[in-house]
Amino acid sequence: MGPDAHVPRPSHLPSLEFANSVLLPGLINTHTHLELTGLEGQVSEPEFPAWITHLRQIKNTRDPADYLVAARQGLQDCYAAGVTTVADTGDSGAVIQALAEADGSGIAYQEVFGPDPAQLTESLSGLQARVEERSSWATGRVRLGVSPHAPYSVSGPLFQAVAAWAATERLPLAVHVAESPAETQFVQAGAGPFAQAWVARGFALPPSRGRTPVEWLDQHGVLTERTLCIHAVQVTSQDVDRLATSDAAVAHCPLSNHAHGHGAAPLQAFLAAGVRVGLGTDSVVSVGRLDLLAEARFAQKRAGLTAEQAVELCTLRAARALGLDDTGSLRPGKWADCTVIRVPPGEGTPSDRLLASSPDHVLLTCVAGREVYRAS
């Protein structure tokens, strides 16, 4: 790295020039659902619980081959958008296969569900079997994690059991938490549409009244340094302190939160408290196109960040949120994950101009020095 005249250029290697462009660390997406690629615009219910129900119905129409095709395409879309590492949650197992086939970089969190405490044994054993089955794909820079889905789809006993097993196995854990007002209403008061759905299915409501979703997870041993809390919108100042104390990280998905009307997560409060935060896109079903720089622009505007701070949220800070110390910046000893993005002319720093770009401006993406995308 350095001025052109000072950087050795081996004669047997190609020399590439990209005018009006920036070279930066590969972007890191801390929350995706790549197995849902191709479902853009197919779910439009305004109420979040109904939206989830409709999405689940559509997912049931896909077979394993469909999921694998979607995951492979989703990964290529990430590369074309300058993203070199993904943290993905899903239940099909397709994404970890796609990552391994591509010799890629990322964490695939295997989802588990089970709202009824009576499902504990079946859900936990099923999760363990799927993790064992898919562990052969966890090679190189591809890691396998677990994801007890959310407080409205997983019972307290199952949360506790999965967290304990993940700790024993040293598996990273991701959980959707404090995403919507409906979730908070469910956990705090045992009311609202999620509670109605549980009662309709004959499930006993959680006994933890008066607690926030983050507090509820903490009481079940879920919050640790290996935990990624996805969304974390409906949080209190005490919740922020709780996340900081436990060293749990946050995947901040501002465009998805806005699209669903969930509100804005307290990003500045997270950063001030020392919470590890990275940016995520969520799925194409929520945001239409996976554009991490658009997430950075929106986060910058909402939280009053500098352009440099916004770019860090999808590079170095994102790497730290995922517990990755070998990527996220261009330094000796780290992987050569990088992307080249053409920036528009104008005033401001390189980061200012970078945030005005989009996936359409990505010229080259490399993972571990290996070209995975080049604009035609």
Active site residues: 179
What residues have CB less than 8 Å from 245, skipping those under 6 apart?
none
Q: Rounded to the nearest 10 degrees, what angle do helices 193-200 and 48-59 cross at? A: 50
Place of tokens 């930066």: 24
SS3 364: strand
The first and second tokens of residue 194, run together, are 């999620």
SS3 111: strand
Instruction: Please count the CA atoms within 13 angstroms of the CA of 264 that sit on its side-chain side.
Output: 12
* Under 8 Å between Cβ of 86 and 106: yes
Is 103 buried (19+), middle (13-18) or exposed (0-12) by CB count in 10 A?
middle
Residue 89, amino acid? T
- Which strand ranges, in their side-by-side order, compose the sheet holding 277-279? 27-32, 83-90, 105-112, 141-148, 173-177, 227-231, 249-252, 277-279
